[in-house]
Amino acid sequence: MADFIIGSPLRKWARDHRVLRDALWRIDFVFFWTLTTLAKSLPADAASGLGYLLGRCVHPFLGKKSAIIRTNLHTAFPEKSSDEINRLVPEAWGRIGRTLMEYPHLGAILEDDARLTIDVREPIETYKNPSQPCVIVTAHQSNWEVVCSAMARMKIPNASLYSPPTNPLLDRLLLEQRQALNSELLPRDHAARKLLQAFKKGRSVAMVMDRRLDAGGAPIEFFGHQKGATLLPARLALKFGCDLVPVQIVRRKNAHFEAIFHPPIKSLNTGEDETMQAINMTQQVHQQFEAWIRQVPEDWFCSKRIWPKGKIVAESGQNGGKHYGI
């Protein structure tokens, strides 16, 4: 999440002036607290619908983020016209608004069988014996937080990586709302050791991994272009000999979801070293993500640059193709 939301125009000064920074953090906290308090007072579907309307209304004021979403969608879907992309952007903000306003209702989504259905495409040992951990991966699609709800419904103890907001007040607010997930939440930075500890205790681990990783990862092809991606999920699966399972969250209607546990990813190059196997498995995961996103592009939360700035321009120039100025 960005350093500042309401005070974004002042971010350059706020980063150098602690008093201004703290004041803007408090303003953002009050804004989000008000929204989530309102959402909590409403039924889950009404809160989700209000979030959709709010997301579509505020997106013109979030020009920088909207531009990034537009660029990512152009790069992923070069066959779509500018008009088609321009129609997708406000729709994507509407879906983001839904997710925000659904946070206070994560507990209700977990407990209500009608709100969360689970489709297991291939059984694995973990589903029968939750003390046998696996590695779960998903994308920022639909309401990705529901992955942990599905694991909790299946009685699978888990630890999940998350990216804390820069604003510590918002971080505490979101952590309080995520308690309904029944998941051990681990900050993403320097989390490898904590993930290992959780894994050794019999907890499955979950990660959202469609965004770009600039350090510590490997180049993976995604929508025809390379981006840096973490190999940690695949490395964990290989190290402990467990399953690497992609889970897709599909929004059926309002705050109703289906969690699809796809067949586990297997290494296709078992004769290679562990790093090459991990790269192969991570590439397979991203191929699945790409297929899911193609089904419902507006459900993809891609407000951060997926591909390095300038990278697509260079690739396009080499290949003689068109580019969109990333």
Domain-located, residue 12:
yes
8 Å CB contact between 115 and 109? yes
What pLDDT shows up at residue 59? Answer: 86
pLDDT confidence of residue 185: 85
Residue 249 counted as domain residue: yes
Nearest to 300, CA basis, from 104, 136, 68: 68
C-alpha 262/C-alpha 258 separation (Å) is 12
Do the domain assignments include residue 2?
Answer: no
How far is Cα 132 from Cα 238, in angstroms, rounded to an integer?
Answer: 15
Average pLDDT over residues 30-59: 94
Domain that holds residue 80: 8-319
Q: Each residue of 198-246: pLDDT tens digit?
A: 888 899 999 999 998 877 789 999 999 999 999 999 999 999 999 999 9
**Angstrom distance (rounded) from CA 46 to CA 39:** 8
Residue 270: per-residue pLDDT: 85
Judged by average pLDDT, the poorest of 13-22, 136-145, 245-254 is: 13-22
Hey, which bits of the chain come out as E strands?
116-120, 135-138, 158-162, 184-187, 204-208, 218-222, 225-229, 244-253, 256-261
Q: Is residue 1 part of a domain?
A: no
What token pair was written down for 225? 């272009």
In a domain, 310, yes or no: yes
Give the model's pLDDT for residue 271: 86
**316 or 242, which is more confident?**
242
Domain assignment present for 325: no
At 75-133, the pLDDT tens digits run 999 999 999 999 999 999 999 999 999 999 998 998 899 999 999 999 999 999 999 99
For the cut 60, the answer to whether the pLDDT of residue 170 exceeds it is yes
- What order do you get walking across the sheet with 158-162 strand by strand? 116-120, 256-261, 244-253, 135-138, 204-208, 158-162, 184-187
Taking the C-alpha atoms of residue 54 and residue 196, their distance in angstroms, rounded to an integer, is 40
Identify the band that residue 310 occupies on the pLDDT scale cut at 50, 70 and 90. Answer: low
Residues in contact with 68: Cβ distance below 8 Å, sequence separation at least 6, in sequence order = 302, 303, 304, 305
Under 8 Å between Cβ of 26 and 7: no
Helix (H, G, I), strand (E, B) or coil at 233: helix
Distance of CA 236 to the CA centre of its chain: 19
Number of residues written out for the chain: 326
Cα gap 127→154, rounded to integer Å: 7
Number of domains in the chain: 1
**Three-class SS of residue 63?**
helix
- Where are any strands of DSSP class E within 84-134? 116-120
pLDDT confidence tier of residue 323, bands split at 50, 70 and 90: very low
Q: Could you tell me which residues are beta bridge partners of residue 64?
A: none
| Per-residue b or e along 6-43, where b marks 16 or more CB atoms closer than 10 Å to that residue's CB | ebbeeeeebeeeeebbeebbeebbeebeebbeebeebe
Is residue 324 included in any domain, yes or no? no
pTM given for the model:
0.88
Is the CB of residue 230 less than 8 Å from the CB of residue 195? Answer: no
- Supply the mean pLDDT for the chain: 88
Nearest CA to 230 among 246, 218, 243? 218
Continuous segment of H or E residues that includes residue 114: none
Classify residue 188: in a domain, yes or no: yes
Q: Evaluate the CA torsion angle 173, 174, 178, 184 in order and state its sign.
A: negative
